[in-house]
Amino acid sequence: MSDRGSAIYEAQILEIVSGLGSELGVKMHPRRILWHGSSVAAPSFMRGLGSDQCDFDGGDVILPKALKNRLSPIEWKPLLASQLIYERRSSLTILARWLAAMLLLIFMWIGARAIIANSDHDSWHLVLLSRIEKCPIGRR
C-alpha cells in the first residue's frame, strides 16, 4: 500500500476510534496510529500486545503490525470497541476506588475529631468540677 493509501487507511481507523469513543462515553482524541510489532520471541505476557489486541496511550492508538492492511478499517471496529469498553470500565473502577478511599478518610477524620472532642470535653468537665470543689465561695 502506498504512503497515501496508508495515510487514508489510518485516518479511517482514527475516525472509527473517535466515533466509538463518543458512542461509549470515553473521552478520546486520537491523533495517530502506532503499529506495534514484536521482533523478539517472548512469552505473551511480556510482549505488551497480542496479535488481536490494541491499546490507547494518550492520543496514540496502538495496533498490532501483523494486522496492518489485513483488516479493513471497519473490521477494526470490534477490536477497538472491546479495548475502549475495557478502558472505560478500568477508569470507572479507579474512580470508584478513589471515592471510596476519600469517604473512608473523611469518616475516619470525623470519628477521630469526635473522639478528641469528647475526651477534651470530659477532661475539661472534670477539671472544672475539681476547681469548683476547691473554691472557697462554693463551700458553706
Q: Which residues span the domain enclosing 82?
A: 3-98
CATH number at residue 33: 3.30.2010
Does residue 18 or residue 90 have the better pLDDT? 18
pLDDT at 17: 92
Whole-angstrom distance, CA of residue 23 vs CA of residue 77: 12
| pLDDT tens profile 76-88 | 999 999 888 887 7
Please report where in the chains the cell 475516525 appears, as a residue.
15
Q: Please state, rounded to an integer, the average pLDDT across all residues of the chain.
A: 78
**Interacting residues of 31 by C-beta distance below 8 A, sequence separation 6+:** 14, 59, 60
In a domain, 71, yes or no: yes
pLDDT > 90 in the chain, percent: 19
Q: Does the pLDDT of residue 137 top 90, yes or no? A: no
Whether residue 44 is contained in a domain is answered as yes
Structural domains in the chain (count): 1
List, in sequence order, the alpha helices (H) in 30-76. 44-47
Q: At what angle do helices 77-134 and 3-24 cross, to 10 degrees?
A: 40
d(CA 59, CA 30): 4
Tell me the C-alpha distance between 29 and 58, whole Å. 8
Q: Is residue 33 situated within a structural domain? A: yes
Spatial distance between the Cα atoms of 139 and 66, rounded to a whole number of angstroms: 97
pTM, to two decimals: 0.56
Does 39 have pLDDT greater than 60?
no
